[in-house]
A = this chain, B = another copy of it.
């Protein structure tokens, strides 16, 4: 929701509607509160926060249309800034921070660092963030056809030998969703983050997984997909960017070094480690163990 431009408001309803619901159906949270909107853009969410009873709205990264949108909706308690929250010194604390901090695989391409910065500097002790939770899930997949086609392509690209690329391609996680019938295990929660308390250090992790294979098949890798939640709302709002349908942020596909023959009931085990270098660079390490198969693969999302 980098700035909520007109094209985004018109096209990305899947991203915007959970925010709209979180604000407009939870007026009790906004009454007399000071709200900080980190990516105001045209000011849509700022207007809704104000109309929901906020005492004051501070809108960062507001674009040139926002002033007019405020006027048109008789919003008089919004302070608009073009700048990012790091570039401005605010002179008050806030009760609610609204921010689409999410990116692919939770953090990639998002703005989690801004949220942590704003929270530590401006959020009141009993204040909260919207959305305030994020989760990653992992599932095993069968995707050998696509992977093979994509890898073999480099053997001869219009007659040019580009085999050398294969080593790099293998390290590029795919940002793509997959077909339902390519999922061959149950899903497992592999990472969870609480925006209220997390530190920069928590954005890196190394966690074990163990998924149960559903059918006789090959496991070519895993898909990691995400969920984020507004839990301070009257009814919690959970938004799933799933493995087969992810209307905005994409899941990440990580291939094993080799495809593994698996049987129904097998337990595929391993670990997923993500090192958060920045919002533009995640280092990923995936290990997998099953019987005599033991592989470790390294990826870079940047």
Q: Is A157 an interface residue (CB 8 A)?
A: yes
Interface size band for A: 20 to 34
Contact A160 B10 (CB under 8 A): no
Chain B residue, CB-CB nearest to A67: B164
Q: Is A254 an interface residue (CB 8 A)?
A: no
Tell me, in angstroms, the Cα distance from A140 to B299 when the chains sit together: 49
Q: Which of A6, A68, A69, A158 has the most CB of B within 10 A?
A: A158
Binary contact readout A155-181 vs B (1 if CB under 8 angstroms, 0 otherwise): 001111111110011001000000000
Contact A20 B164 (CB under 8 A): no
A10-B150, A10-B153, A153-B10 given as contacts; is B165 within 8 A of A65 (CB)?
A: yes
Binary contact readout A5-20 vs B (1 if CB under 8 angstroms, 0 otherwise): 0100110000011001
Min C-beta distance of A222 to chain B, whole Å: 21
Min C-beta distance of A205 to chain B, whole Å: 28
> Pick the contact of A69 from B68, B73, B153, B162 — CB < 8 Å?
B162
Chain B residue, CB-CB nearest to A169: B6
Q: Is A47 an interface residue (CB 8 A)?
A: yes
Q: Is A44 an interface residue (CB 8 A)?
A: yes
Number of copies: 2
Min C-beta distance of A29 to chain B, whole Å: 17
Q: Which of A20, A24, A157 has the most CB of B within 10 A?
A: A157
Q: Is A99 an interface residue (CB 8 A)?
A: no
Tell me, in angstroms, the Cα distance from A297 to B150 when the chains sit together: 46
Q: Give the secondary structure class of A's interface.
A: helix
Contact A165 B6 (CB under 8 A): yes
A65-B168, A168-B65 given as contacts; is B6 within 8 A of A161 (CB)?
A: no
Interface residues of A in 28-65 (CB under 8 A from B): 42, 44, 47-48, 51, 65
Interface residues of A in 131-170 (CB under 8 A from B): 150, 153, 157-165, 168-169
Contact A160 B6 (CB under 8 A): no
Contact B161 A73 (CB under 8 A): yes
> Pick the contact of A48 from B42, B150, B160, B165 — CB < 8 Å?
B160
Q: Is A88 an interface residue (CB 8 A)?
A: no
Min C-beta distance of A124 to chain B, whole Å: 26
| List of B residues within 8 angstroms of A158 by Cβ | 16-17, 20, 24, 44, 48
Q: Is A92 an interface residue (CB 8 A)?
A: no
Binary contact readout A164-208 vs B (1 if CB under 8 angstroms, 0 otherwise): 110011001000000000000000000000000000000000000
Q: Is A72 an interface residue (CB 8 A)?
A: yes
Min C-beta distance of A135 to chain B, whole Å: 26
A-B residue pairs in contact (CB < 8 Å), sample of 12 = A6-B168, A9-B162, A10-B150, A17-B158, A20-B158, A44-B158, A44-B162, A48-B158, A68-B164, A69-B160, A72-B162, A73-B160
Residues of A near any B CB (own CB < 8 A): 6, 9-10, 16-17, 20, 24, 42, 44, 47-48, 51, 65, 68-69, 72-73, 150, 153, 157-165, 168-169, 172
